[in-house]
Chains A and B, each alone.
Chain A
Amino acid sequence: DTAVSQTPKYLVTQMGNDKSIKCEQNLGHDTMYWYKQDSKKFLKIMFSYNNKELIINETVPNRFSPKSPDKAHLNLHINSLELGDSAVYFCASSQEGGRMFFGSGTQLSVL
């Protein structure tokens, strides 16, 4: 009964490939997020959806496309992967301001 689950946990792929990361939350929250964590542990918000609607879209290359089929799911699709995309990607959800629940992360390695 994991609250926020994301798959896969590890993703190793070649430059130029297209990949997706899936996220699901069973908390009934309205808002979901994608964060990117670099090798120095710095966390940067990428996207936020509220009830399937995009509300935050930070300066992220348009190779990254989030998709929310329903409010319990927020998937991240990445086209034409580059070396600099290597990072840990975290999905999160929240209901009230600031109290966020995070998934365990997807470590993406682009070779």
Chain B
Amino acid sequence: GNSVTQMEGPVTLSEEAFLTINCTYTATGYPSLFWYVQYPGEGLQLLLKATKADDKGSNKGFEATYRKETTSFHLEKGSVQVSDSAVYFCARYNQGGKLIFGQGTELSVKP
């Protein structure tokens, strides 16, 4: 079936640390891949996306590369800030209109 698996949280980092949040997907079809972010008390918002293999999505210092050979779309940021504290969701989209989310990874950045 279609699924997305993320690393479990919570992830706690100090400010300016390097961030990686792992995400893998089941290799059914050729999905588009997304990272969404949910700040406390808000709805989800799109962070970045990639629509085909080897595409790199980037936004606000975050990056993720669509890796077909490892069915992965890991999220990275070189230097996190306190304001990056949020829950991050990896997601895949197939034709048919369904966006499937991973279970979410909570990130907490301490000053």
Interface, chain A (partner B; CB < 8 A): 4, 31, 40-43, 45, 48, 50, 55-56, 90, 92, 94, 97-105
Q: Cβ of B106 and Cβ of A41 under 8 Å apart?
A: yes
For the complex, is B34 an interface residue (Cβ under 8 Å from A)?
yes
Interface size class of B (residues with CB under 8 A): 20 to 34
User: Smallest distance from the beta carbon of A56 to chain B beta carbons, Å?
Assistant: 6
CB distance from B88 to the nearest CB of A (A): 10
The reply to whether A41 and B103 form a contact with Cβ atoms under 8 Å apart is yes
Which residues of chain B from 82 to 111 have any CB-CB distance to chain A below 8 Å in the complex? 87, 89, 91, 93, 95, 97-101, 103-104, 106
**Given A97-B93, A97-B97, A98-B49, is A41 in contact with B104 using a C-beta cutoff of 8 Å?**
yes
A45 to B89, CA, bound (A): 14
Q: A41-B103, A43-B104 are in contact. Are A100 and B46 (CB under 8 A)?
A: yes
CB-contact partner of B87 in A41, A97, A103, A104, under 8 A: A41
The answer, among A45, A98, A102, for a CB contact under 8 Å with B43, is: A102
Residues on the A chain within 8 Å of B101, using CB: 43
Question: For B99, what are the chain A residues with a Cβ–Cβ distance below 8 Å?
Answer: 45, 94, 98, 100
Question: Could you say which of A43, A48, A99 contacts B46, with CB atoms under 8 Å apart?
Answer: A99
Which B residues fall within an 8 A CB radius of A?
Answer: 32, 34, 36, 38, 41-46, 49, 87, 89, 91, 93, 95, 97-101, 103-104, 106
In the complex, are the beta carbons of B93 and A98 less than 8 A apart?
A: yes
Taking CB atoms, residues of chain B closer than 8 Å to A94 are 99
Is the CB–CB distance between A105 and B43 below 8 Å? yes
- Asked if A102 and B91 sit within 8 Å, CB to CB, the answer is no
Cross-interface CB contact of B44 among A31, A90, A97, A98, cutoff 8 Å: A90
List A contacts of B95 (CB < 8 A).
Answer: 97
Residues of B within 8 A of A31 (CB): 97
| Closest residue on chain A to residue B43 by CB atoms | A102
In the assembled complex, the Cα of A4 lies from the Cα of B89 at a distance in Å of 19
* Closest A-B pairs by Cβ, 4 of them: A98-B93, A102-B43, A41-B104, A43-B101
